[in-house]
Structure 1
Amino acid sequence: MNSIFERIHMEEILERIEKLSVNAQPKWGKMDVAQMLAHCSSFQDIPMGNSFPPRGWLGIFVGKFARPVFYNDKPLPKNMSTIPTILITDKRDFEWEKENLKQKVMSFQQAGPENCSSHPHPFFGKLTPEQWGKGIYKHLDHHLKQFDV
């Protein structure tokens, strides 16, 4: 499984983000491209230790068993539910969101696994830095595929 902590995979993600256009249309889901970028940035804040969404009751009871979905080799399901605090519904500026996400991806990769937050994922719970690295890559890959890049 690819990890955002590996430079080659970070660079691949950055190239794909750069290929996005303001007019890109989703293959699934309700977010437009700028909202998707903002969502990915908000998600990125969790392992970076900048955001601490609370654990929901469902995650507390089943998150541990579903955890491998986040970092295994299988694609994430389309239209999978998201963390309520990072569901983006308001209008966003595409160019700003694109640059913001790229900066966060680079900062996270450069900080390395040793600086990954120990705060639990709101649904899956406690993750190792290795699991976060794989999960972040997988999450970004999922949303970039959503917009055909």
Structure 2
Amino acid sequence: MRAIPFDVNDSELRETFFRRRLFEAILPLHAGTRPRWGRMTAQQMIEHLLWAFELSNGEAEVECSIPEPQRHSLKVFLYDNRPTPREFMNPVLTAGLPPLRHKGLAEATASLRVEADRFIQQASANPDATHTHPVFGPIAMEEWARSHFKHAYHHLLQFGLIGGE
């Protein structure tokens, strides 16, 4: 189990996390790895993270059903330096998890790496680009980076791949 510091406000830590630490942490993940909580399988978790990166890269789209006034107060979460609560339920997943899109965990993980790299490149080249987040609505790359960091950290904890909290 790896130790990865949690500091959503540290942009260098976030970039290192997306480039290297996330993928080092998921190396021991295998199809039979069971979560400490929740209902996702290992591959569902990787594909769920992949989908979030696809949203931020503009390769997938989602509507935000959260009313505008509520979104503003929810965005505070992106800036507070606390991990995503264990019991957080993504409103997009209330109907259940989507079907798997990849043949296996290795293929899904390879796709996640491609999208994470694409996110780093796009965030650097066009930091003001906005794409819709299912909870926060349209957000720019800085807020997407914060969201991805908290989101991925949460799922690494869920699968016991990092220590912390």
TM-score under structure 2 length normalisation:
0.76
Residues 1:96 and 2:107 aligned together: yes
Aligned to 1:45: 54
CA distance in structure 1 between the partners assigned to 2:137 and 2:21 by the alignment: 28
Aligned to 2:84: 76
Residues 1:143 and 2:155 aligned together: yes
DSSP-derived class of the 1:67 partner: helix
CA distance in structure 1 between the partners assigned to 2:16 and 2:106 by the alignment: 24
DSSP-derived class of the 1:45 partner: helix
Please report how far the alpha carbon of residue 7 of structure 1 lies from its aligned counterpart in structure 2 after TM superposition.
3.8
List runs of 5+ in structure 1 lacking aligned partners. Answer: none
**Greater alpha carbon shift after TM alignment, 99-108 vs 110-119:** 110-119
Please report how far the alpha carbon of residue 33 of structure 1 lies from its aligned counterpart in structure 2 after TM superposition.
0.6
Indicate conservation of the 8 Å contact 1:59/1:125, yes or no: no
State how many pairs are aligned: 148
Please report how far the alpha carbon of residue 5 of structure 1 lies from its aligned counterpart in structure 2 after TM superposition.
8.4
Indicate conservation of the 8 Å contact 1:47/1:119, yes or no: yes
Please report how far the alpha carbon of residue 100 of structure 1 lies from its aligned counterpart in structure 2 after TM superposition.
1.2
CA distance in structure 1 between the partners assigned to 2:27 and 2:11 by the alignment: 19
C-alpha RMSD over aligned residues: 2.5
Indicate conservation of the 8 Å contact 1:46/1:52, yes or no: yes
CA distance in structure 1 between the partners assigned to 2:43 and 2:50 by the alignment: 11
Q: What is the percent sequence identity of the aligned residues? A: 22
Q: Deviations over 1:32-51 (max 9, x none)?
A: 11001111111111110112
CA distance in structure 1 between the partners assigned to 2:12 and 2:42 by the alignment: 21
Indicate conservation of the 8 Å contact 1:70/1:135, yes or no: yes
Q: Deviations over 1:46-69 (max 9, x none)?
A: 11011220121x343412101121
Q: How does 1:11-22 map to 2 (within 5 A)?
A: 11-22=20-31
DSSP-derived class of the 1:38 partner: helix
Please report how far the alpha carbon of residue 24 of structure 1 lies from its aligned counterpart in structure 2 after TM superposition.
1.2
Q: Deviations over 1:44-100 (max 9, x none)?
A: 1111011220121x3434121011213431010113222427953435621211111
Indicate conservation of the 8 Å contact 2:26/2:156, yes or no: yes
Aligned to 1:125: 137
Indicate conservation of the 8 Å contact 2:92/2:134, yes or no: no
**Greater alpha carbon shift after TM alignment, 32-41 vs 7-16:** 7-16
Matched to 2:158, the amino acid is: Q
Which structure shows the bigger proportion of residues in strand conformation? 2
